[in-house]
Amino acid sequence: VLRGRRLDHQNPRRSTLGHDFATVGVDLVREIRLQVDLAARQLQRLDDLVDFRNAIVHGSDRLMRQIEQEGTAKADLRSYLRFRRALEGLAREMDVMVPQTLAGRLGIDAPW
């Protein structure tokens, strides 16, 4: 299952997580969207954060300014806290959804 895992060499965005979880039979993005609308927004925040991080790492002043002007992200404490809350919430949703989905597919009790 670890062979071909995209998280080993790609950014942890929605598509990467979706691909990797699909290898164990979990349509992560679909399942998260079915949980609550908030989780779908949290997935979007993950992609937003990756885009902003990439702009910073690659030194793209133009893209950083564009992202900040759109209000998607900003290099300040408020933005950091907003991203942190979203990602912590997404992790909590995944921690509930993944074992439930696996249990349903395997016909067993939730593994955690």
- What would the pLDDT profile of 30-44 be if each residue is shown by its tens digit? 888 887 778 888 999
The DSSP string of 25-50 is T--HHHHHHHH-HHHHHHHHHHHHHH
What's the residue count for the chain? 112
- For the entire predicted model, the pTM comes to 0.84
Question: Among 109, 111, 106, which Cα is nearest to 26's?
Answer: 106
- Give tens-digit pLDDT for 55-111: 999 999 999 999 999 999 999 999 999 999 999 999 998 898 889 888 988 899 987
Burial profile 27-47: b = 16 or more Cβ within 10 angstroms, e = fewer: ebbebbeeeeeebbebbebbb
d(CA 8, CA 5): 6
